[in-house]
Amino acid sequence: MREGPDIARIAALVADPVRSSMLLALMDGRALTATELASLSGVTKQTASGHLAKLVDGEVLAVEAQGRHRYFRLAGAHVAALIEALMVFSSDAASPVRTGPKEPALRKARVCYDHLAGEMGVALYDRAREAGWLTDDLGVTEVGWSRFSAIGVTPDSLPRSNRPPCRACLDWSQRRHHLAGLIGKATLDRLFALSWARRLPASRVVAFTPEGERRFREWIG
């Protein structure tokens, strides 16, 4: 009869036990893959795929493709707020989810295509965002160029390409963004050139030297 905001539509998306368990698993802001969410919720991947499609369609989840993986995360803080409002009704708290790769070395630093990933990569990206090296739409600021120049990454040194100079890439182990794009590649190249780190053979592990790690952390501040 009366028409108000269509709160039933969103509520219905949360009302399914499988979907709600997915949302709870994503409450810490990480991004998980479809199969992870499937096994986590105890359904087959087809079923999970259907649920995830609904959630993305309803703009409750955001999705980011990464090679043959698709990482799903909450669409925003308002989604988390909604889940919290629902959790008020049941007093017991949620239990966290274990995740991530096994090898600590991979967790710490590795190559993602051609740029730095893992804890170190995420630290770089976080720092760059928070210290104003980058704008919200991932442009490089004055401050940013001066910082990147400090390790030899200058505008002139970047190859001419239609590839975006700076891109955020979703991190596999940290489930957060790290720095990708031309600058991401150039930065990783410089880490090798400066001998702050080297790539272990037959592996994606990026091994920092003690001195290299100290310098790196010093550089990002």
Locate 89 and state its tokens.
């009704």
Q: Which does 68 bind (CB under 5 to 8 A by kind): DNA, a copy of itself, none?
A: DNA
Bridge partners (DSSP) of residue 198 are: 207
Q: Is 46 in the site for DNA (CB under 7 A)?
A: yes
Residues that bind a copy of itself (CB under 8 A): 1-12, 14-17, 19-21, 23-25, 39-42, 59, 78, 81-90, 92-95, 97
Residue 109 is inside which H or E element, if any? Answer: none
CB of 96 to DNA, least distance (A): 21
CB of 42 to DNA, least distance (A): 7
CB of 38 to DNA, least distance (A): 7
Locate 103 and state its tokens.
């090898």
d(CA 25, CA 85): 16
Name all contacts of 14-19 with Cβ < 8 Å and 24+ positions apart. Answer: 14/60, 14/82, 14/83, 14/86, 16/51, 18/42, 18/43, 18/47, 18/48, 18/51, 19/51, 19/54, 19/55
φ/ψ (deg, to 5) at 198: -140, 160
CB of 80 to a copy of itself, least distance (A): 10
Q: Which does 94 bind (CB under 5 to 8 A by kind): DNA, a copy of itself, none?
A: a copy of itself
CB of 200 to DNA, least distance (A): 13
Q: Between 68 and 107, how does the x/- string for binding to DNA read (CB under 7 A)?
A: xxx-------------------------------------
CA distances to 6, 8, 81, 171, 212 from 119, in Å: 41, 40, 28, 9, 15
Bridge partners (DSSP) of residue 65 are: 70
Q: Which does 163 bind (CB under 5 to 8 A by kind): DNA, a copy of itself, none?
A: none
CB nearer to a copy of itself: pick between 59 and 211:
59
Among 22, 24, 25, 48, binds DNA (CB under 7 A): 48
What's the half-sphere exposure (Cβ side, CA atoms, 13 Å) at 92?
3
- Residues 182 to 211 in contact with DNA, rule: CB under 7 A: none
Residues that bind DNA (CB under 7 A): 12, 16-18, 33-36, 43-54, 67-70
